[in-house]
Structure 1
Amino acid sequence: MPQITLEYTRHHAEADWPPVALQIHQAAVEGVGAGLSACKTRLVALDKVVIADGAPRHAMVACRIGLMPGRTSEQKIALSETVLDLLTTALGSPADPTQVSVEVFDLNETYRKVTVGG
C-alpha cells in the first residue's frame, strides 16, 4: 500500500515521470500516513486509446491510488487534489488537449502483500 498506477498516452511519454512518482509517494506519506517503503508506482505508457471523438491529438494522464481502508473521505479527496496539482504542473502547457484524472480508492479485503528477499 499504496498501489499507484500512472498511465499516460504517448503524447507525454517523454515527460520525466519517475520524479513525479516520488512526489506522489511523498504526498501519500504526508496526506494519508502511508509508509514510504510501501509506496509503489507503475508507470504505463499507453499505445492505443480512444478519447473524445477519437482524433489522435487527444491525450490523457490518469492516476489511480489504491489504499488500505481506514482513511477518511476528506483525506482521500485532499490526496487526489494534491496529485492532480502535481500532474498538471508536470505537464506544463501541453500542445495537445490532455485530460488529467486522479482516483483514490480503498483496496478490498482480498489485497495481500509480502516482501521477499533482502
Structure 2
Amino acid sequence: MPQITLEFSKSLDHVDWRAVALDIHNACVDIAETKLSMCKTRLVRLEHTVIADGAPEQAMAHCEIRLLPGRTADQKSRLGDAALERLQGALSEQPGPLSISCEVLELDGETYRKVVRPA
C-alpha cells in the first residue's frame, strides 16, 4: 500500500514513466502519510485505446491510487490533485489531444492482504 497503476497510450512511450511514478510515490509519502517503501506502481502501456471520436492522434494517461482506509477525504483529494499535476507536468510537451485523469480509491481493509519477503 499504496497500490498505484499508471496506464498510458502507446504514443506516450517517450515519457519517463519511472520518474513520474517516483514523483507520485513522494506525493503519497507527503500527503497520505505512508512510507516510501510501501509504494508500488504498475506501469501499463495500452496497446489499443479508443478515445473520443477514435482519431489516432488521441492519447490518454490515467493514474489510480489505492490506499488502505484511514485517510481523510481531504488527503485523498489533495493526493489526486498532486498526481494529476505531476502527470500534466510530464505530458506538457505532448502535442495533440490528450486526456489525463486520476482517481484515489480505498482498498478494502478487511480483505486486502500483503506479504513482503525480505531479500
| Equivalence for 2:10 | 10
Q: Equivalents in 1 of 2:24, 2:43: separation in Å?
A: 12
- Give the match's secondary structure for 2:75: helix
Please tell me whether residue 116 in structure 1 is matched to residue 110 in structure 2. no
Q: Equivalents in 1 of 2:96, 2:70: separation in Å?
A: 38
Give the CA deviation at 1:29.
0.3
Q: Equivalents in 2 of 1:8, 1:96: separation in Å?
A: 15
| Equivalence for 1:56 | 56
Q: Equivalents in 2 of 1:53, 1:96: separation in Å?
A: 14
Question: What letter is aligned with 2:45?
Answer: A
User: For 1:26-69, what per-residue CA distance to the aligned partner results, in whole angstroms no more than 9, with x for missing partners?
Assistant: 00000011111010101111001111111111110000000001
Moved over 4 A (4+): none
- Give the match's secondary structure for 1:62: strand
- Give the match's secondary structure for 2:117: coil
- Give the match's secondary structure for 1:41: strand
TM norm structure 1: 0.96
| Equivalence for 2:74 | 74
- Give the match's secondary structure for 2:43: strand
Q: Equivalents in 2 of 1:32, 1:106: separation in Å?
A: 12
Q: Equivalents in 2 of 1:70, 1:112: separation in Å?
A: 16
Question: What letter is aligned with 1:17?
Answer: W
Q: Equivalents in 2 of 1:11, 1:77: separation in Å?
A: 29
User: For 1:46-101, what per-residue CA distance to the aligned partner results, in whole angstroms no more than 9, with x for missing partners?
Assistant: 00111111111111000000000110110000000011100000111311211000
Give the CA deviation at 1:11.
1.3
Please tell me whether residue 28 in structure 1 is matched to residue 35 in structure 2. no
Q: Equivalents in 1 of 2:76, 2:83: separation in Å?
A: 11
State the number of aligned residues: 118
